[in-house]
Amino acid sequence: DQQVKQNSPSLSVQEGRISILNCDYTNSMFDYFLWYKKYPAEGPTFLISISSIKDKNEDGRFTVFLNKSAKHLSLHIVPSQPGDSAVYFCAASESGGGADGLTFGKGTHLIIQP
C-alpha cells in the first residue's frame, strides 16, 4: 500500500503562473518531508524539505506547506519557469531518514507552457 501518494500524474501550468503540486501520506510516523525534482536520464535533485513541527518552509520561488491534521503537503512554485518542467517527487522519512530511507510517491510530471 502506497504510504505517500501523488494523485496527479501530470500538471500543465502557464509560464509565470503558480504551480501547485500535492502530496498525501498515510503514515503518521513520518516526521520529515522532502520534494525532489527529476529530469530524464538524471537522478532526483533535492529541492526543499520541511520538518513535521513546521507548517511552512520557503526557499526562493519554492514554498512547501504541511497540514499534519490532513496528512497533506503541497509544493508551490511561483513564478513558474520553463526550466521547472520535470517530474516532481514527494518523499517522507521516519526518524530523520535513518535506517528506513525515504518513501517516495509516484511523482507528478509538471509541464510549463510558454
Partner 1 sequence: DTGVSQNPRHKITKRGQNVTFRCDPISEHNRLYWYRQTLGQGPEFLTYFQNEAQLEKSRLLSDRFSAERPKGSFSTLEIQRTEQGDSAMYLCASSFSGIEQFFGPGTRLTVL
Q: What torsion, rounded to 10 degrees, do the Cα atoms 41, 44, 45, 47 define?
A: 140
Query: Does 1 participate in binding partner 1 (rule CB under 8 A)?
Result: no
Minimum CB–partner distance for residue 17 and partner 1 (Å):
26
Minimum CB–partner distance for residue 99 and partner 1 (Å):
4
H or E element, residue 29: none
Query: Does 64 participate in binding partner 1 (rule CB under 8 A)?
Result: no
Q: Which stretch binds partner 1 (CB under 8 A): 41-49, 52-60, 63-71, 77-85?
A: 41-49
Query: Does 61 participate in binding partner 1 (rule CB under 8 A)?
Result: no
Which of 86, 93, 94, 112 lies at the binding interface for partner 1 (CB under 8 A)? 93
Which of 75, 102, 110, 112 lies at the binding interface for partner 1 (CB under 8 A)? 102
Long-range CB pairs of 101-105 (<8 Å, 24+ gap) are 102/34, 103/3, 103/4, 103/27, 103/30, 104/4, 104/36, 105/2, 105/4, 105/5, 105/6, 105/23
Determine the residue type at 12.
S
Query: Does 53 participate in binding partner 1 (rule CB under 8 A)?
Result: no
Residue 34's nearest CA partner among 66, 78, 12, 2 is 66
Q: Which residues bind partner 1 (CB under 8 A)?
A: 4, 32, 34, 36, 41-46, 49, 89, 91, 93, 96-107
